[in-house]
Amino acid sequence: MNEQSETRRRSMLSLYGMWAGRDQDDAAFRDLLSLLWRRRWVAGATVVVVTILTAVALLLTTPKYTSTALVLIEPRVNRVADSTSVLSNLPNDFETIQTELEVITSHGLLRKVVRELSLTRDPEFNASLKSVWFGRRMLNALLRGDERPPTQEELERGATDALAGVTSATSSGRSRVLSISVEAESPEKAARLANAVADAYLVSQLDAKFEATQRTSVWLNKRLTELKEQVRRAEQAVEQYRQEAGLIEGKDSALSSADQMTTLSTQIVLAGTQRAEAEARLSNVRSLMNSAEGTGSVSEVLGNDLIQRLQEQEGTLRRNMAALSQRYGPKHPQILQAEVELADTQQKLRGEVAKIVASLEGEVAIARSRENSLLGAQRRLEGNMSSQNQRGIKLRELTREADANRALMETFLGRFKELSDEANLQTTDARVISRAQPPSAPSSPRTMLTLLLAVLASTGLGIAIAVMVERLDSGIHTSRDVERWTGLPVLTVVPELKGKSAVSGSRPMQIVSAPLSRYAESYRNLLVGLNLSNVDNPPKIIAVTSSNPAEGKTVTSMSLAATAAAAGKRVLIMDCDLRRPRLHHELGVERGPGLVDYLAGQVELEAVMRTDERYRFQYITAGSETQNVLNLIESQKLRTLLTQMKPHFGLIVVDTPPLLAVADAKVIAERCDSVVFAVRWGKTGRNTLVDGLKHLEGNAAPVAGVVMTRADMDRLSSYQYGTAYYGNAYKSYYSS
């Protein structure tokens, strides 16, 4: 049973925690909504102002139209003749496409468009043709005192810059299609400019190819002239040498001897190579035999099967000996037998290697003998060659030079003819697949989208400004503010009177003239709150004070006194603000004689205590002016007066000076049963409230709570979601 109860208790606590967390989230959301609601005029004004300014800017902005031409980088090549172009076709890669986009928007190409369309005479691209107040160049000229008109070069440069600012070229992904867009003030002009830029791009390709072909043709023509002269001189030299040497074409024995010499040289080279290979193998075998590996490495080089088997047998015998050595001593017969077999195998292995070495030495000797024989034949052939061989060599040299010059000339001549034909068949690497058309609607400004963005942006800005204004507002608005900063309860919230009821001196009269009003009910709440602050011993002497002047303490004092009197109590109200008294002004009576006169011993108590028939309470005004205020306040006579009056009245209300102004209120509060702190709604700052309450720390009289005066009930409802004091939902309970 106890376990079930504990489980149920934990479930309830978990459910309570969940709902508490949800309540905190809801409270934060409600606080945000209430903040936006009470600052709605700030946010709304921001939205309206920004939207209107945006609309005005849109109305003043000249509409711009954008037209687009599409150009395809052609991957196919039309080959009329099978020849190679001077400039190769454009490859289809990302770098090439980006390069062509830069070419389209380059100033060099755009300047051709400026010249072709005479854009220097268009005010849109020539600022000097506009009004002097809008022409930057003319305005700068006037400021400098320079009235020199711009040159044609400057006009073209400015028009080119302007055209570059409204021209864009883009590609879609990895497509070979380029979009050329131009923005202008009229749709026809935008289309004309876009098509002109596209045409200029195609013409620039043709110009580049034509210029390259022309330069190559000129160079080839010059080179052909030189080659023709070289061929003529070379052929003439061959014929002249043939006649001088007496050589008959086709029967040149020197050429045959040369062929023999060539063949013999080839054989000598091969013989030398074979001899070197044999020597290398022999040298390698000898070096390996002298190395640490011995015959083992020789077998790996020679690749002889018998040597490899002998080596494997040697390895087997060595392993057997190692195994026997672990079991027997060195003189054991099996050990001795194994050593004999191992020595026999090693001897056979060395014998086979020696045979191979002898064979290699024979091969080296044979190779050397053959090489020496060929060298001897070569020397004999060289000795037999006569002077006609020398003449044949010279003839062949001249003939080769003539043939080479003739072949080079024929190659250049063929290329020259190809270029001559190609110059008339030049094609571009791109073509226009869609010419620009005049757009039907402007591209900028985009009115609806811009206005929508302006509304969204201004809404965010308005919310930010509203939050900032709220943060900067340090006034006290809700009971939660008071409790958060002071820990004191709010005894009541007094509504602000509007219209004729707001006339000075008429507020306390609401207690008498409109006892069922919201204003009167607020002071009945104050009176009940004071009585409940100490049920066993309700306070009778109540001091009303505030941090600063003009926070409603005098009106609060009178209204509290009038409410208690209307409830049937005998009430006395005293104006203890001897420096700037207000009670006599609110009651509409003379200032004296009053409390100052009584405390100074100038009059008796009966002379200063008067009765107001409207409010049905007795009152003591401040009396005559004095320079010795603090001494009178601290006097024993004032303490005695309050002590003597307490049994005769159901409530004594003491109106005191503001705490931050003078020290009078602190002294008076020590002689009262309780203190009511007046705070003007929305005006009194948090720091002001806290600083005022610090002056009452350590006093004998406790602070019963705070009265929020002159509260705007409509605005207050926006601070207390669903819990506003005397909100519109409660109007039916009050009379006007």
Per residue in 632-686, pLDDT (tens digit) is: 888 899 889 999 999 999 999 999 999 888 888 888 888 898 999 999 988 887 8
Q: What is the pLDDT of residue 562?
A: 92
| Highest-scoring range by mean pLDDT, 165-174, 228-237, 469-478 | 165-174
- In the predicted model, what is the mean pLDDT of residues 76-96? 55
- In the predicted model, what is the mean pLDDT of residues 509-516? 82
- Compare 428 and 712 and report the one with higher pLDDT: 712
Residue spans of alpha helices (H) in 385-478: 387-422, 447-472
Q: Which residue has the tokens 């104006």?
A: 575
Q: Which residue has the tokens 């979601």?
A: 721
Query: β-strands 177-184, 65-73: how paired?
Result: antiparallel
Please tell me whether the peptide bond between 445 and the residue prior to it is cis, using omega within 30 degrees of 0.
yes
Are residues 380 and 284 in contact, defined by beta-carbon separation less than 8 angstroms? no
pLDDT at 21 over 60: no
User: Which amino acid appears at position 7 of this protein?
Assistant: T
| Highest-scoring range by mean pLDDT, 146-155, 314-323, 640-649 | 640-649
Give SS3 for 715: helix
**What band does 275 get if pLDDT is binned at 50, 70 and 90?**
confident
Euclidean distance between CA atoms 529 and 516, whole angstroms: 18
pLDDT in tens, 531-564: 887 777 889 999 999 988 888 889 999 999 999 9
pLDDT at 176 over 90: no
pLDDT at 513 over 90: no
Helix %, strand %, coil % of the chain (to 5): 60, 10, 25
The predicted model scores a pTM of: 0.50
Query: 3-class secondary structure for 79-94?
Result: CCCCCCCCCCCCCCCH
pLDDT at 389 over 80: no
Q: Which fold has domain 491-726?
A: Rossmann fold (3.40.50)
Ordered DSSP codes for 36-101: HHHTHHHHHHHHHHHHHHHHHHHHHSPPBEEEEEEEEE------SSS---SSPPPP-SHHHHHHHH
pLDDT at 146 over 70: no
**What band does 360 get if pLDDT is binned at 50, 70 and 90?**
confident
User: Which amino acid appears at position 433 of this protein?
Assistant: I
Euclidean distance between CA atoms 298 and 304, whole angstroms: 9
pLDDT in tens, 436-484: 899 888 877 877 888 888 888 888 888 888 778 777 766 777 778 788 8
Euclidean distance between CA atoms 143 and 163, whole angstroms: 27
Share of the chain above pLDDT 70, in %: 76
| Cα separations in angstroms, 191 against 121, 167, 351, 596 | 18, 12, 100, 95
pLDDT at 154 over 70: yes
Q: What DSSP designation does 622 have?
A: -
Q: How is residue 571 written in tokens?
A: 């009430």
Q: Which of the residue ranges 78-87, 353-362, 703-712 would you say has the lowest mean pLDDT?
A: 78-87
Are residues 190 and 184 in contact, defined by beta-carbon separation less than 8 angstroms? yes
Cβ-proximal residues to 31 (8 Å cutoff; 6+ apart), any chain: 721
Where would I find the beta strands (DSSP E) of 297-444? 430-434
Q: What is the pLDDT of residue 293?
A: 55
- Compare 450 and 257 and report the one with higher pLDDT: 450
| Highest-scoring range by mean pLDDT, 329-343, 347-361, 549-563 | 549-563
Q: What is the pLDDT of residue 156?
A: 86
pLDDT at 590 over 60: yes
**What band does 137 get if pLDDT is binned at 50, 70 and 90?**
low
Please tell me whether the peptide bond between 593 and the residue prior to it is cis, using omega within 30 degrees of 0.
yes
Q: What is the pLDDT of residue 222?
A: 78
pLDDT at 489 over 80: yes
Are residues 234 and 395 in contact, defined by beta-carbon separation less than 8 angstroms? no
Euclidean distance between CA atoms 460 and 456, whole angstroms: 6
pLDDT at 518 over 60: yes
Q: Which of the residue ranges 277-291, 314-328, 354-368, 594-608 would you say has the lowest mean pLDDT?
A: 277-291
Q: How is residue 281 written in tokens?
A: 């193998």
Q: What DSSP designation does 537 have?
A: S
Euclidean distance between CA atoms 200 and 104, whole angstroms: 9
Q: What is the pLDDT of residue 505?
A: 47
| Average confidence score pLDDT of the chain | 77
Q: What is the pLDDT of residue 372?
A: 82
pLDDT in tens, 620-636: 999 888 888 888 888 89
Share of the chain above pLDDT 90, in %: 10
Q: Which of the residue ranges 64-73, 132-141, 373-382 would you say has the lowest mean pLDDT?
A: 132-141
Q: Which of the residue ranges 115-124, 250-259, 340-349, 399-408 would you say has the lowest mean pLDDT?
A: 250-259
Q: Which residue has the tokens 């005005």?
A: 56
Q: How is residue 158 written in tokens?
A: 């400015």
| Highest-scoring range by mean pLDDT, 56-70, 366-380, 608-622 | 608-622
- In the predicted model, what is the mean pLDDT of residues 235-253? 64
Q: What DSSP designation does 658 have?
A: -
Nearest to 416 by CA among 222, 177, 617, 658: 222
pLDDT at 408 over 70: yes
- Residue 93 has φ and ψ, to the nearest 5°, of -135, 170
Please state whether 726 falls in left (phi above 0), alpha (psi between -120 and 50) or beta.
left
Nearest to 678 by CA among 530, 496, 552: 552
Tally the residues of the chain: 736
| Cα separations in angstroms, 466 against 296, 460, 498 | 97, 10, 26
Euclidean distance between CA atoms 220 and 208, whole angstroms: 18
| Highest-scoring range by mean pLDDT, 5-14, 103-112, 418-427, 696-705 | 103-112
Cβ-proximal residues to 78 (8 Å cutoff; 6+ apart), any chain: 427
Counting other chains too, the contacts that 469-473 makes at CB distance below 8 Å and 24 or more residues apart are 469/39, 469/42, 470/35, 470/39, 473/682
Q: What is the pLDDT of residue 617?
A: 92
Q: What DSSP designation does 492 have?
A: E
Starting at the edge strand that comes first in sequence, how are the strands of the sheet with 430-434 ordered? 167-171, 177-184, 65-73, 430-434
Q: Which residue has the tokens 């005010």?
A: 123
**Beta bridge pairs of residue 167:** 182
- In the predicted model, what is the mean pLDDT of residues 376-384? 70
pLDDT at 5 over 80: no
pLDDT at 139 over 70: no
pLDDT at 172 over 50: yes
pLDDT at 196 over 50: yes
Q: What is the pLDDT of residue 620?
A: 93
pLDDT at 268 over 50: yes
| Cα separations in angstroms, 20 against 12, 369, 423 | 12, 114, 89
Please tell me whether the peptide bond between 123 and the residue prior to it is cis, using omega within 30 degrees of 0.
no
Q: How far is CA 478 from the centre of its chain?
A: 41
Are residues 624 and 591 in contact, defined by beta-carbon separation less than 8 angstroms? yes
**What band does 415 get if pLDDT is binned at 50, 70 and 90?**
low
pLDDT at 307 over 80: no
Q: How is residue 18 written in tokens?
A: 């969940």
Q: What is the pLDDT of residue 570?
A: 94
- Residue 411 has φ and ψ, to the nearest 5°, of -65, -50
Euclidean distance between CA atoms 422 and 86, whole angstroms: 9
Q: Which of the residue ranges 254-258, 489-493, 598-602 would you say has the lowest mean pLDDT?
A: 254-258
pLDDT at 726 over 90: no
Euclidean distance between CA atoms 83 and 615, whole angstroms: 120
User: Which amino acid appears at position 660 of this protein?
Assistant: L
